[in-house]
Structure 1
Amino acid sequence: MQCYRFMELHKKEYWDLVSAYLAGTISDEERSRLLQWLEEDPARTLQLKELEKIWDRSKNNPLPAFDVEQAWKKLQPQIRERKKPVLRKVSGWSFRAAASVALLILAGTLVYFLLKPGYSDVFIATLPGETKNIVLPDGSRVVLNENSSISYDAGLDRNRERRVKLKGEAFFEVSKDPQKKFIVGAGETETRVLGTSFNVLFDDAAQQVKVSLLSGIVRFVPGRNEKAVGLAPGEEVIYNSRDRSLSKKAFENENFLFWKNRKLEFADQQLEDVLALVGESYGVSFRIKDPQLGGLRVTSAFDQSSLAEVINVLENLLDIRIEGTGNVYTVWAE
């Protein structure tokens, strides 16, 4: 039955959504539709995760030779027409079209994996504006940020290693187990711990991973055969797989966790920098009319505050005026 449902997928618009998801070009609206479709039948999540595994493997292993033009001719009538292409075509092919054709080649392999006994992947994702609290089989806790997904084996606590795969951002509180490493895969990177609390942000589009450690010890591995980087509490590492650049530094506060705890803290920081972070946190932007105002110093803390409350504090603290239209705010001297 599972195989039948998968083979039916290419007759529907969801084939294109799956292709966009794997190619990394899916929009928020498409992501919402895909998640709704997955929630209708748990077997679909299983199918998607197997496709994703095979897709990832295909990046490092060449696919068998096939007639691309002929495959596309067969597939084209089954993909819904798009009035506005999301990506420009490269050599007559869009990335989504290439993904769809590749999925046809991978379909036979998927059937084999679906029939393997004992398979039990769990896939959890969030919509825009949504976060989720997750308790893993080993007791570890995860807070998943918006537009993110995490997958793991249902028998994670019984495996030799506790592995999860992340896209987007999540905060982890890992249950300590000296005998079993806890490994977070994000792109080609791995973050390895035994028991600790840390935040991982994986920006798939930018191919950048940021790991911030709050407690315990973390070893960050940029990629295969690359040297691990150790982190101590209060440190973070940023790695970009495009140019292989890596930086490690101490962080001054935990403002990067605003999405989780709704807290911001500023200690003698310039107003320009404060407004940039406030804007990012609340989804708005600020325009400073007088450049000199940007150099004003701000020392304040906010806990569960609304945007209006933050603005009110800044106005009274610095004797300035902040007014907005829509999501754009203007700042000037009182």
Structure 2
Amino acid sequence: MKHNISKETLLKKYVNNECNSEELDLLFEYLGTSQADPQLYSIIDTEIKKVALLQEKMDEQQAAEIYIAIRKTIREKNKPIDQGGSSWFMFSYPWRIAAMLTGIIISAVIAYYFLNEKDKVISYATAYGQTAKIVLPDSSIITLNGNSSIQYISGWSSQVRREVWLKGEAFFSVKHTYNHQKFQVHTSDKFNVEVLGTEFNVYNRNAKTRVVLNSGKVTLNMQESSSQSHLTMNPGEMVEFKDNPSKFVKRGVNAAAYSSWINKKLILDNTSFREIVSLLEETYGLSVMVPDKSLYEERFTGIVPCENAGMLLNAIALSFNLTIQKQGDQVKFQAK
């Protein structure tokens, strides 16, 4: 933008219904770009948590779905309808409760609650230890690992970015379109993975994010304060970070090992017992006790089956020469 006003200020003014006509034009030009996503989500997320709709607080999932609806609204509109002010819509009595939300929040809530069948938010989730294969509208395929979920808007077209929102872990096989349409995986308001057509694994749990590229090329978009940085990955590379994307670590790895779970096996490549315990807890929902803390630093290389928790536990016990005591979801490992 060739103006002194910052993008963040524009977004905040719009949320508070304070934009003039020229600022609205500038804002919608900006909102049509991928760079707007992190700042937009952060501001929207802050604002919607300040209000209540029909006397009920919006939970995290509703906030995420409202954000998806906002993106849907933005990408289909070049500029808002001017009704003598900066609001998109005018409401009578039935909508007075919605007047608590200003500007784009009103549009978002309406989009969220009144998306038609074509443009509804689609959600998939897996239980602990379960995997699922999802075919997207463009024929791209997502394989969800246990205790994971994705969301996307139905009714994809060739004119807009393909976008999904992930929690947990998933392997993506993205179809390359004839018009080089971008595909984005969002894991937070500060980070997304952008590709054209490729295969890669994304892990997003407990503030830790890891991306491993199997084939093709991806771009990682990372929000840092008021600016955004971009990082390109090549096959066989892994990028991971905890909390702050700007503090990432990038290194070469055996990419197949990180996505081997889609074939119901684990390729362990000098993998520590600590990492395996995290896997058992996060993906299989087990509560693991390890009295001998020195076991955490033990490492193993090999292939073990992971079709179910029982099979995996037995393989781990055999690989590390351990005994297992199991009661319900409680598991205790001890050295023989």
Q: Does the pair score TM above 0.5?
A: yes
Secondary structure at the counterpart of residue 333 of structure 2: strand
Residue-pair matches, total: 257
Q: Distance in 1 between matches of 2:242 and 2:318?
A: 41
In structure 2, stretches of 5+ residues that fail to align are 1-51, 75-85, 87-95
| Structure 1 match to 2:332 | 330
The code of the aligned residue for 1:175 comes to K
Letter in 2 for 1:265: I
Alpha-carbon spacing, 1:333–1:194, altered in 2? closer, same or farther (3 Å) = closer
RMSD: 4.3
Distance between the aligned counterparts of 2:271 and 2:144, measured in 1?
A: 29
Q: Following superposition of structure 1 onto structure 2, how do residues 169-208 of structure 1 map, counting pairs within 5 Å?
A: 169-177=169-177, 179-186=179-186, 187-202=189-204, 206=207
Question: Greater RCO between the two (CA within 8 Å, min separation 6)?
Answer: 2
Distance apart, 1:213 and its partner CA: 1.1
Letter in 1 for 2:202: V
Asked if 1:50 is matched to 2:69, the reply is yes
Shift of 1:218: 1.0
183-192 vs 209-218, which moves further: 183-192
Q: Is the 8 A contact 1:264 1:301 kept in 2?
A: yes
Q: CA deviation at 1:196?
A: 0.6
Partner of 1:222: 222
Q: Which amino acid aligns with 1:143?
A: T
Residue matched to 1:281: 283
Shift in Å at residue 283 of structure 1? Answer: 2.0
Show the counterpart of 1:126: 124
Q: Distance in 2 between matches of 1:183 and 1:314?
A: 37
| Structure 1 gap ranges (5+) | 1-8, 25-44, 56-63, 65-73, 76-99
Deviation of the 1:323 alpha carbon = 0.9
CA 1:103–1:151: 2 relative to 1, 3 Å: farther
Listed one character per residue, the Cα deviations across residues 179-215 of structure 1 (whole Å, up to 9, x for unaligned) are 3232215134342222111123455x73x64322111
CA pair 305-217 structure 1, distance change in 2 beyond 3 A: same
2:174–2:196 CA contact under 8 A, matched in 1: yes
The 1:182/1:307 distance shift into structure 2, 3 A limit, reads same
Is the Cα contact below 8 Å between 1:268 and 1:298 reproduced in 2? Answer: yes
Question: 1:234-276: per-residue Cα shift (whole Å, max 9, x none)?
Answer: 2122356757323222234555446644321224444444444
| Aligned residue runs from structure 1 range 1-334, under 5 A | 10-11=53-54, 15-16=56-57, 18-23=58-63, 49-50=68-69, 103=101, 108-110=106-108, 120-127=118-125, 129=127, 132-145=132-145, 146-152=147-153, 154-156=155-157, 158-159=158-159, 161-168=160-167, 169-177=169-177, 179-186=179-186, 187-202=189-204, 206=207, 209-223=209-223, 226-238=228-240, 242=244, 244-252=246-254, 254=256, 256-257=258-259, 260-334=262-336
Separation (CA, whole Å) in 1 of partners of 2:100 and 2:60: 12
Identity %: 23
SS in 2 for 1:222: strand
Q: Which whole-Å CA distance do the structure 2 matches of 1:117 and 1:124 have between them?
A: 11
**Normalized against structure 2, the TM-score is what?**
0.59
TM-score (norm 1): 0.59
Residue 141 of structure 1 and its aligned partner are, at CA, apart by 1.9
| Partners of 1:293 and 1:19 in 2: CA distance | 40
